[in-house]
Amino acid sequence: MRFWLGTHEVSWLGRTDVDLFISRRRLMRQKTLPAALGEWALDSGGFTELNLYGEWQTTAVEYVEQVRRFESEIGNLSWVAPQDWMCEPFMLEKTGLTIEEHQMRTALNFEQLRYALGDLVIPVLQGWTRDDYLQHWELYDALHFPLENEPLVGLGSVCRRQNTSEAGMIVRSLSELQLHYFGAKLTGLESFSDVLSSADSLAWSYRARNDHPLAGCTHKSCSNCMRYAIRWRDQLVARLGQQRLEV
């Protein structure tokens, strides 16, 4: 499983070759962008946009223009998420729409972006129950995008679930696909990383806020510390690798 380290710090792109996962909304604040030393992937920032406005205010045309700028100026862009619509119950309340409508909008946006950006954009499955995700898979098939042929398929609306076993059931029901798990928790990765192709997480930052700074660090908190983040990432990757060896 490939692991993408989540970060809010744009400068890290030019400071480490570790795989990074960064939100579009952070990049948009920068007049000058660093050249990437390693590969990175783009989070669309959809959760924040829908949570703030109840809809996407960024158009698909604007999104494509932004992605092309990032690809040109930063380089080494591995893949980008589409402008998907999350399906957590509180998000449905924000938008006033149904799960089916969120799924349709997600799939149609992917279709539009795929024609503009090619394979750089990945499809994302959205839903809340296992059957929701399977239904969304069928919708992609109906649009002539068989997900089993995709090199990577994002799995949305999973990072805020409290029930790890429920998330695991959903993941394993989609194990025919090359899944990327957005916003993974350690307990989830330990339970079902064997059926994931990749995952990202920013959980290190929360842990750092409640932890003492590393020896040698002069800041009060390591919540934005690259040294802390990479150490956490290395320990996680080693732990998951050892777990697979033991199995």
Give the per-residue pLDDT at 245: 43
Which amino acid is residue 130, in one-letter code? R
Question: Has residue 88 been placed in a domain?
Answer: yes
Give the per-residue pLDDT at 162: 62
Question: Has residue 118 been placed in a domain?
Answer: yes
Closest CA to 186 of 244, 228, 222, 232: 232
Question: Has residue 234 been placed in a domain?
Answer: no
Report how far apart the first and last C-alpha atoms of the chain are (Å, whole number): 15
**Average pLDDT estimate for 162-168:** 81
Question: Has residue 237 been placed in a domain?
Answer: no
Interval 86-144: pLDDT, tens: 999 999 999 999 999 999 999 999 999 999 999 999 999 999 999 999 999 999 999 99
Interval 16-64: pLDDT, tens: 999 999 999 999 989 999 999 999 999 999 999 999 999 999 999 999 9
pLDDT above 70 covers a percentage of the chain that reads: 97
Question: Has residue 214 been placed in a domain?
Answer: no
Cα gap 106→147, rounded to integer Å = 14
**For residue 159, what pLDDT band results from cuts at 50, 70 and 90?**
confident
CATH number of the structural domain spanning residue 131: 3.20.20.105
Q: Which residue's entry shows tokens 């809809």?
A: 55
Cα gap 236→139, rounded to integer Å = 35
Question: Has residue 243 been placed in a domain?
Answer: no
pTM over 0.85: yes
pLDDT above 90 covers a percentage of the chain that reads: 83
**For residue 197, what pLDDT band results from cuts at 50, 70 and 90?**
very high
Give the per-residue pLDDT at 155: 97
Q: State the chain's mean pLDDT as an integer.
A: 94
Cβ within 8 Å of residue 1, ≥6 positions away: 189, 193, 194, 196, 197, 198, 199, 240
Q: Residue 246 above 60 pLDDT? A: no
Question: Has residue 240 been placed in a domain?
Answer: no
Interval 200-219: pLDDT, tens: 999 998 888 888 889 889 99
Cα gap 80→23, rounded to integer Å = 10
Which tokens go with 242? 């050892």
| Count of the separate structural domains present in the chain | 1
Question: Has residue 231 been placed in a domain?
Answer: no
The parent domain of residue 115 ranges over 2-201
